Chain A
Amino acid sequence: MGRIALHDIRKRFGATEIIHGVDLAVEDGELVVFVGPSGCGKSTLLRLIAGLDRPSSGTIEIDGRDVTRLSAAERGLAMVFQSYALYPHMTVRQNLSFGLENTKMARDEVARRIDAAARMLEIAPLLDRRPTQLSGGQRQRVAIGRAIVREPAAFLLDEPLSNLDAELRVTMRAELAQLHARLTTTMIHVTHDQVEAMTLADRIVVLRQGRIEQVATPLDLFNRPANLFVAGFVGAPNMNLLSATARDGRAALPGGLDIPVPRDGPCTIGIRPQHLHPAEPGAPALEGQVTLVEALGTETVLHARTPDGTALTTVVQGQSPLRPGQTLRLTPDPHEIHRFDADGLRMDDPGAAR
């Protein structure tokens, strides 16, 4: 079991508050990813859950038990650190057994768990080596192994893939997903990489400056971002954000486009690059001059600038004949338009029921 609940967690370092009242419930067996730009407090939040730091106020519950005042060891969680934090003077086997021996576990049970973890992670041939003699990916496995042998209520992973090269990161990401499917233990994974978050998570928690911006499944996050920050943060390339002012339920965009908006006043229209398509000749369209062409083979990313200076990005399938300097005319998919009010909050389009 590993149900983790946070109630109004606040953390101050001196006079500065880093975490401003976080409420969150993580269900048993769920893989939750904390994502956000650096300095958003995601690692701090993880350390508070782990018990390495104490919250200034608020309570943390694991399986309904208040653990706020308990030490890290007593919470029954296991953590994988960003730097792996393997004990350099111990062999891999000793690294795995250290935590178990400290709990006075029987010798054969320790051996059984190490064997099981070593088989699962394919590190059996490495058991008698020291961390210095391992590659980055192998160290990563050992660090995960050290967490697995503890059979914790939940795994806490603090940017576990950030020290790996790009290729290995993709492999390890897939392995982490498989591991979670096999163990079905609660996992909280911290990352700043939105691709990692989208591919791994059951639910994503988007954090900014110590506050939760949105908690949702990856696709909900992509389809219905709750505010401008989430809209800009999730999805690659970034969403096009166009400022407009709505009058009589419609917001006018440059080029004669007219978007229905539920409320009048200043607003922001968000359109993902994937949802901008070449416009029919003569139809109203966003017009811009191509400034950069990024040809990726299967798709092409086009950067353009409208006459009033707004930057536009679009993705077209296949390879584009367009060159910088040429004119691009784009029209948005009417069902894939996001509307945000003056405070940056999502406004739902009453006409588009989803």
Chain B
Amino acid sequence: MSRALAFLTRRRGHGGRWHWTDVVTWVWLLGGTVLMFGPALWLVASSFKGPAQLAEFPPTLLPYAQIAVPVAGHDAPLPLYEVTGPDGTTRQLAEIRRIGTNAQMVDPAEPGTRLDVDIAARRPVREVGLALDNYVRPLVANDFLRFLWNSVFVTVTATLITLLTNSMAAFALSKYRFRGRDAVMLLIVATLMVPLSVILVPLYSVVNATGLVDTLWGVILPTVATPTGVFLLRQYMLTIPDELLEAARMDHASEWQIYWRIVLPLAAPALAVLAIFSVVWRWNDFLWPLIVLSRRETYTLQVGLNTYAGELNVQWHYILAMTVVTMIPVVLVFVFLQRFITTGIAGAGIK
């Protein structure tokens, strides 16, 4: 602990004085932290706010919830307000119902007497609390569990197929010498320059002709072959020594076994990187699923989120809550797979 403190308070200036670079470092790092984490944290905090609080100005940082108290003679707990009387005294009253600009209220201590209060003279009593309904309602009533499942299915399937097909292409392009290999590679890389919006219409025609419109496979299949993936894996596989493959050939391994038992395990770091990319891409995909999917049962999360943004009314509390839900898997993928990015195991048996 004391060492951690010593590390944090270490300065470049002599004798514990502040050098100007110390100041710049702290400002830079703190500013960066706020810039990076601020929006995400605010999103999480706001996702627990009710619709009324979200519409408030100035906005509050933490989510608050109005306190409700049980009152004798009423089935449900009633919301509590702090009412300022005409004489300047304040007391806490529960609201029974609102009529115009007035509210019929009751003192929880004496449930018998009803009071008529101007709504301008009262202020809701709040405490820090979570509007969990933001999460519960979309997930339970609005099919979001279904959307979540669709998204998971699309992401996992597309990523697995991406890894398989791209690694096979990369293996051939990096380890076999054949006529036109470089031309094929160039062609694949060249498709990087074609944006989705250009091929949207022809792609839709193909998907339509194959009867995949409105199915999850229609979302998955057009995306699995990515030039980025082929290029990334090929560059990595070039670093796997040919002698390993030749040793395997002497060891009676078929070309398929060489791919499956030698090249794939050694390309694991690159595969992990591509897996991370693929998961993030497929999970965050919006435009293509929006075009292909029109039945509500086939929506992915991103398309489902879009249903909360109507022409007249945007249900921010649901959008924010479901945005947090959509963020979780991406964060988890990074947490668990990031160590693969930095470790390289190929070449270890060589020299």
A binds B: yes
Residue of B nearest to A71 (CB): B249
Q: Mark B311-324, 1 if CB is under 8 A from A, else 0.
A: 00000000000000
Once A83-B241, A85-B241, A88-B346 are accepted as A-B contacts, the answer to whether A102 and B265 lie under 8 Å apart by CB is no
Interface window among A15-23, A72-80, A288-296, A309-317 = A72-80
Query: Do A72 and B348 touch (CB < 8 A)?
Result: no
Interface window among B42-50, B218-226, B250-258, B297-305 = B250-258
Query: Do A131 and B246 touch (CB < 8 A)?
Result: no
Query: Which residues of B from 223 to 248 have beta carbons under 8 Å from A?
Result: 241, 243-244, 246-248
Once A81-B243, A85-B243 are accepted as A-B contacts, the answer to whether A132 and B250 lie under 8 Å apart by CB is no
B55 at the interface (CB under 8 A from A): no
Kindly list chain A residues whose C-beta atoms are within 8 Å of the C-beta of B265: 89
A34 at the interface (CB under 8 A from B): no
Query: Do A72 and B246 touch (CB < 8 A)?
Result: yes
Kindly list chain A residues whose C-beta atoms are within 8 Å of the C-beta of B243: 81-83, 85
Query: Do A89 and B345 touch (CB < 8 A)?
Result: yes
A10 at the interface (CB under 8 A from B): no
User: Which of A78, A83, A85, A98 has its CB near the most chain B CB atoms (within 10 A)?
Assistant: A85
Query: Do B250 and A78 touch (CB < 8 A)?
Result: yes
Query: Do B250 and A77 touch (CB < 8 A)?
Result: yes
Query: Do A87 and B262 touch (CB < 8 A)?
Result: yes
Query: Do A99 and B252 touch (CB < 8 A)?
Result: yes
Query: Do A83 and B351 touch (CB < 8 A)?
Result: yes
Query: Do B249 and A72 touch (CB < 8 A)?
Result: yes
B180 at the interface (CB under 8 A from A): no
From the candidates A84, A85, A88, A163, name the one contacting B246 in the complex (CB within 8 A): A85
A86 at the interface (CB under 8 A from B): yes
Kindly list chain B residues whose C-beta atoms are within 8 Å of the C-beta of A102: 251-254, 257
Kindly list chain B residues whose C-beta atoms are within 8 Å of the C-beta of A87: 244, 247-248, 262, 349
A303 at the interface (CB under 8 A from B): no
Query: Do A85 and B247 touch (CB < 8 A)?
Result: yes
Count residues of chain A with CB under 8 A from any CB of chain B. Answer: 28
- The distance from the CB of B72 to the nearest CB of chain A, in whole angstroms, is 72
Kindly list chain A residues whose C-beta atoms are within 8 Å of the C-beta of B246: 52, 72, 79, 81, 85
Q: Mark B327-348, 1 if CB is under 8 A from A, else 0.
A: 0000000000000000001111
Once A72-B249, A72-B250 are accepted as A-B contacts, the answer to whether A88 and B347 lie under 8 Å apart by CB is yes
Query: Which residues of A from 237 to 259 have beta carbons under 8 Å from B?
Result: none
Kindly list chain B residues whose C-beta atoms are within 8 Å of the C-beta of A99: 250-253
* Complexed CA–CA distance, A72 and B246 (Å): 9
Residue of A nearest to B245 (CB): A85
B140 at the interface (CB under 8 A from A): no
User: Which of B253, B346, B349 has its CB near the most chain A CB atoms (within 10 A)?
Assistant: B349
* Complexed CA–CA distance, A88 and B248 (Å): 12
From the candidates A82, A88, A103, name the one contacting B252 in the complex (CB within 8 A): A103
Q: Mark A52-75, 1 if CB is under 8 A from B, else 0.
A: 100000000000000000011100
Kindly list chain A residues whose C-beta atoms are within 8 Å of the C-beta of B251: 73, 98-99, 102, 146, 150
- The distance from the CB of A285 to the nearest CB of chain B, in whole angstroms, is 51
Kindly list chain A residues whose C-beta atoms are within 8 Å of the C-beta of B120: none
Q: Mark A158-185, 1 if CB is under 8 A from B, else 0.
A: 0000010000000000000000000000
From the candidates A77, A79, A163, name the one contacting B247 in the complex (CB within 8 A): A79
A139 at the interface (CB under 8 A from B): yes
Query: Do A52 and B249 touch (CB < 8 A)?
Result: yes
Query: Do B253 and A132 touch (CB < 8 A)?
Result: no
B350 at the interface (CB under 8 A from A): yes
- The distance from the CB of A312 to the nearest CB of chain B, in whole angstroms, is 40
Kindly list chain B residues whose C-beta atoms are within 8 Å of the C-beta of A82: 243
Residue of B nearest to A105 (CB): B252
Query: Do B266 and A88 touch (CB < 8 A)?
Result: yes
Kindly list chain B residues whose C-beta atoms are within 8 Å of the C-beta of A73: 249-253
* Complexed CA–CA distance, A78 and B247 (Å): 9
Residue of B nearest to A97 (CB): B251
* Complexed CA–CA distance, A132 and B261 (Å): 18
Residue of A nearest to B268 (CB): A89
From the candidates B250, B349, B351, name the one contacting A50 in the complex (CB within 8 A): B250
User: Which of A71, A99, A139 has its CB near the most chain B CB atoms (within 10 A)?
Assistant: A99
From the candidates B247, B253, B268, B348, name the one contacting A81 in the complex (CB within 8 A): B247
Q: Mark A131-155, 1 if CB is under 8 A from B, else 0.
A: 1100000010000001000100000
* Complexed CA–CA distance, A139 and B349 (Å): 8
* Complexed CA–CA distance, A352 and B347 (Å): 57
Once A72-B249, A79-B250, A99-B251 are accepted as A-B contacts, the answer to whether A85 and B244 lie under 8 Å apart by CB is yes
User: Which of A102, A139, A146 has its CB near the most chain B CB atoms (within 10 A)?
Assistant: A102
Residue of A nearest to B251 (CB): A99
* Complexed CA–CA distance, A52 and B244 (Å): 12
Residue of B nearest to A81 (CB): B243
* Complexed CA–CA distance, A192 and B347 (Å): 25
Query: Do A163 and B351 touch (CB < 8 A)?
Result: yes
Q: Mark A38-58, 1 if CB is under 8 A from B, else 0.
A: 000000000000101000000
- The distance from the CB of B179 to the nearest CB of chain A, in whole angstroms, is 14
Q: What are 14 A-B residue pairs whose CB atoms fall within 8 Å in the complex?
A: A72-B250, A77-B250, A78-B250, A79-B250, A85-B243, A85-B244, A86-B349, A88-B349, A98-B248, A98-B251, A99-B251, A132-B349, A139-B349, A150-B251
Since A73-B249, A81-B247, A85-B241 are in contact, a sample of 11 more A-B pairs with Cβ atoms closer than 8 Å, ordered by chain A residue number, is: A52-B250, A73-B252, A73-B253, A79-B246, A79-B250, A81-B246, A85-B349, A86-B349, A89-B268, A98-B248, A99-B252
- Nearest 8 pairs of A and B residues by beta carbon: A99-B251, A88-B349, A131-B349, A102-B252, A86-B349, A85-B243, A85-B247, A88-B348
